[in-house]
Each structure stands twice: as C-alpha cells, then as structure tokens.
C-alpha cells in the first residue's frame, strides 16, 4: 500500500480552524471576549440586554430603538408553546434527562412551521426568533412541571429573560433578579465554535433545516458532561458537599492530592486566563448578596471564594487552570430560585441565538463537512464464510442466476466483481 505522510490533528480538532466568522472573538491567553467586534463582554453585560444581544448576533449590528422594539414584539409573539410540548414534557419528565426532554420539544416545533420548504434568509430568521422565544418558555414549563406546578402563561409586559423567570417561578422578578437572569442569558448567548455550535454546523452543512441542526447539533451535544452538561450543577454539588466554609481548604487540598477528585468549575479548553464571564458572574453575585442577603447563598459564596483563592495559589498561575463561568453560576442561579436541573436547559435557551447565527453565517458559503480519518488497521485479511443455515433464499456458491454468479462477495473468475448488499433477508447484486 502506498504510504504518505499524514498530519492528524490533536484530539478533538484542537487548534484547527473550521470556518471564518464575524460573530465572536475569544482571546484565551488574556481572558477577553467580544460579540461581533463590539466592546468586550463586560460592557455588554453591564449595559445591554438579551434582546439587543440577540439582534446583534443575528443581524450583525446593534439595533436602533425602532428595530429593537420591533424585534422584541416578534419574540413576545412567539413565547407561547404548542400543545404537543405539554404532552412531551408531561410524558418524559421524571423518566428522561432534562436535556432529552428539551431536545424532543425543540424537534417537535418543526411541525408548526408555516412553510417548511421556504429556505430564504427571511424564513430562517423567523425560525430563529421562534426557537429563541419558545425554548425559554419550554424550559420554564419543564421546571414548573417537575415541581408539580401549573403552566404560567407569558407576560407581554416583561422582557425576554424576566419573562422566563416569571414563567418559572410564578412571581414577577424584581429589578435585580431580572438583571441576574438576563446577565446569564447574555453570557451564554455565544462562544465561538464550541462542541454544540460545531455539531450544529456539521448537521446544517448537509442542508438539513434549522430545527434539525439545533436539535441534533446544539441541544443533543450540550447534554454531554464535557460541554455544558451539568458542569455548573456539578460545581454547585461540590459546594454543597463541602458544606461548611471552614471545610473548604481541607476538601480542596485532599482533592488535589494525587488527583483524587476533580475541582469543578476550573479549567477551560480555550481560556488560559481567568474566564471574563466568571469575573462578571462573581461581581453580580456578590452585589446581589449584599442587597438580598440569603443564608444559603452566603454560605455557597464563602465556599466559592475560599476555593477560588486556594486554586489561584495552587494551579492558576502555575498550570493555567482558572475559574470558568460554571464556578459561580450555581450560587447565582440559586440566589434567584432556579433549580439545579435546569442549569443546562437554560444554557441551551440562551445559546439558541448563537447556534442559529453561526448556522446562517456558515450557510452563506456552505460546504459539507467531510473530514478524513487515517485507517491504521490490517488489510487483505483472509475471509472465512460463517456457517450457512437453512435459509431458503440462500444460493449455492457458483450457481448461475441469470448471468449473476454468487461467489460469497469475492472476486469472480474472469475479472467480474460481485458486490453483495444484505438488506434483512434479501440479497441485492451489483455487477
């Protein structure tokens, strides 16, 4: 066999650029993040809102007042969910992982598309708006149903994130709680070619529709524990395991000794500095705790800060393992009464706009993803037929069947090749 030098990417396509984009820039070395080239994420987190950020990601520019108002109205008009969603949530909850429930609900939305054959940009924007609005409502109902509570209809007087929290808790959030949930939606809206975005693009590159791409790609991929699937929930569980803030240092030291336990919420594939989103979450969590003291959140925050201090001393400056957004997310969600099992579904609801925006950008110059793998196994191994049963459809090797010769799929005498395709109990022959 001809040999040639083959370059194989490091595991997980690390260091490989799969597309050009104007959506998001991550400076992992210095811990900086931009959406569409606008001032760093800290500025958007402080001054913007999720609707404005969604418009920015979908259309490539910040909206003026009229455009933002119209966009908000389009989102509000799509908030309610169809009856099939209630059926799916009620049938699957308690029997399936929350992300399995959400994935199935998102997929079901395709049957309500007004014109599935319309592939225009305008139609796809309409689908994106539908998915952004309805996914948040679905997640809220998932939370309600798991708590044995009734569906709360959307409130058109509330912005997107505040309405989500209202539909989840049944209470209109105060200004600070509304800011916190909006902050989390903004910070999770987009983050480059991560695993779920990449899988969305792979599915979309086949020219499957938007629903298929964000279902098979985004929502399905996000379930995995190495990407979104419960990392913030795991960090919160660790804090609950520590229990008393005074146990923090002992827990961390024992975990680091011989690698007995992984310290959740630290380390990132891209950031080799402090995740800028984690800094923002920490800042607002401390601010919220000052204004709305909670014994539970106070304890969690003390544990988080003491763990962070020790980890910075032990690993951050020496090995580049810094806090990521998941570390402080759990205590922040608990501060506004969001249950842990919804952390990843909320991630999906927030990231829906990022998945759609990347998909639409890639479709502008679409090419089917078809990488190669380097075969390292043996070739031309001896074929030994398995024992033949009394199959009435079986043929004796060498039997003439109207010009076709059955030879167990081997090369026939005279150079004629017979390829045999098995479909259940039928054989199809190609000469």
* 344 and 414 both lie in a single domain: no
Within-domain flag for 68: yes
Spatial separation of the C-alpha atoms in residues 225 and 426, rounded to whole Å: 42
Q: Which residue carries 């069947």 as its tokens?
A: 401
H-helix segments, 147-194? 160-169, 175-187
Mean pLDDT, contiguous 10-residue spans, the chain (431 residues): 68 87 94 95 97 98 98 98 97 95 97 94 98 98 97 98 98 96 97 94 97 94 83 91 94 82 83 92 95 94 93 82 90 95 96 98 96 92 79 51 45 44 40 38
Within-domain flag for 114: yes
DSSP sequence for 340-401? GGGHHHHHHHHHHHHHHHHHHHHHTT-----------S--SPPP-PPPP---TT---TT-EE
Within-domain flag for 207: yes
What is the extent of the structural domain holding 115? Answer: 11-231+337-363
The residues pairing with 420 across neighbouring beta strands, listed in sequence order, are 429
* 342 and 406 both lie in a single domain: no
CB of 278 closer than 8 Å to CB of 235:
no
Nearest CA to 270 out of 7, 12, 46 is that of 12
Within-domain flag for 373: no
* 110 and 168 both lie in a single domain: yes
pLDDT of residue 315: 81
The residues pairing with 10 across neighbouring beta strands, listed in sequence order, are 14
Report the CATH number that the domain containing residue 181 is assigned in CATH: 1.10.580.10
Q: Which residue carries 């949930």 as its tokens?
A: 181
From 188, 227, 326, 358, active-site residue: 326
CB of 151 closer than 8 Å to CB of 168:
no
Within-domain flag for 271: no
Q: How many domains does the chain have?
A: 2
268 is an active site residue: yes
Within-domain flag for 353: yes
* 355 and 405 both lie in a single domain: no
Spatial separation of the C-alpha atoms in residues 121 and 97, rounded to whole Å: 34
Token readout for 25 is 């820039």
Element housing 198 (H / E): helix 195-204
* 349 and 418 both lie in a single domain: no
pLDDT of residue 419: 42
Within-domain flag for 209: yes
Last residue of a domain, one of 315, 346, 363: 363
Within-domain flag for 406: yes
The sign of the dihedral angle between the CA atoms of 315, 320, 325, 326 is negative
CA 403 to chain centre: 54
Residues with Cβ within 8 Å of 390's Cβ and at least 6 positions away in sequence, in order, are: none
395 is an active site residue: no
From 191, 268, 275, 358, active-site residue: 268
Nearest CA to 181 out of 171, 193, 173, 192 is that of 173
* 350 and 404 both lie in a single domain: no
Spatial separation of the C-alpha atoms in residues 211 and 126, rounded to whole Å: 12
Spatial separation of the C-alpha atoms in residues 130 and 145, rounded to whole Å: 22
Helix-strand-coil percent breakdown of the chain, rounded to 5? Answer: 55, 5, 40
Spatial separation of the C-alpha atoms in residues 146 and 140, rounded to whole Å: 10
């Amino acid at each position: 066999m001809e040999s040639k030098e083959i370059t194989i990417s490091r595991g997980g396509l690390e260091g490989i650029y799969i597309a050009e984009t104007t959506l998001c820039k991550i400076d992992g070395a210095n811990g900086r993040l931009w959406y569409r080239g606008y001032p760093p994420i800290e500025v958007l987190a402080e001054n913007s809102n999720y609707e404005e950020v969604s418009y920015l990601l979908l259309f490539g520019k910040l909206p003026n007042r009229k455009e933002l108002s119209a966009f908000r109205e389009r989102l509000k008009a799509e908030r309610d969910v169809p009856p099939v969603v209630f059926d799916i949530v009620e049938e699957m909850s308690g029997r399936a992982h929350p992300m399995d429930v959400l994935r199935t609900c998102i997929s079901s939305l395709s049957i309500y598309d007004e014109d599935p054959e319309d592939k225009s940009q305008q139609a796809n924007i309409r689908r994106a708006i539908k998915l952004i609005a309805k996914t948040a409502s679905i997640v809220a109902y998932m939370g309600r149903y798991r708590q044995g509570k009734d569906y709360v209809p959307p409130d058109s007087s509330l912005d997107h994130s505040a309405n989500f929290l209202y539909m989840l808790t049944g209470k209109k959030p105060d200004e600070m709680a509304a800011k916190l949930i909006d902050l989390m939606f903004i910070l999770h809206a987009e983050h480059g070619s991560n695993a779920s975005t990449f899988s969305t693009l792979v599915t979309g590159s086949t020219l499957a529709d938007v629903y298929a791409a964000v279902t098979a790609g985004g929502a399905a991929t996000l379930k995995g524990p190495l990407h979104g699937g419960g990392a913030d929930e795991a960090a919160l569980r660790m804090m609950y395991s520590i229990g008393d803030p005074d146990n923090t240092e002992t827990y961390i030291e024992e975990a680091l000794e011989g690698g007995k336990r992984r310290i959740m919420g630290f380390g990132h594939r891209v950031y080799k500095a402090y995740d800028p989103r984690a800094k923002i979450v920490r800042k607002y969590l401390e601010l919220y705790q000052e204004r709305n003291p909670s014994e539970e959140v106070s304890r969690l925050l003390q544990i988080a800060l003491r763990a962070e201090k020790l980890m910075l001393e032990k690993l951050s400056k020496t090995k580049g393992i810094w806090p990521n957004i998941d570390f402080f997310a759990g205590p922040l969600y608990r501060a506004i009464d969001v249950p842990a099992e919804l952390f990843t579904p909320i991630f999906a609801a927030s990231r829906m706009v990022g998945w759609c925006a990347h998909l639409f950008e890639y479709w502008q110059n679409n090419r089917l993803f078809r990488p190669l793998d380097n075969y390292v196994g043996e070739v031309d191994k001896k074929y030994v037929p398995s024992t033949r049963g009394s199959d009435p459809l079986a043929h004796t090797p060498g039997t003439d069947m109207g010009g076709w010769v059955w030879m167990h799929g081997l090369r026939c005498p005279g150079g004629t090749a017979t390829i045999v395709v098995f479909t259940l109990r039928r054989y199809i022959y190609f000469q």
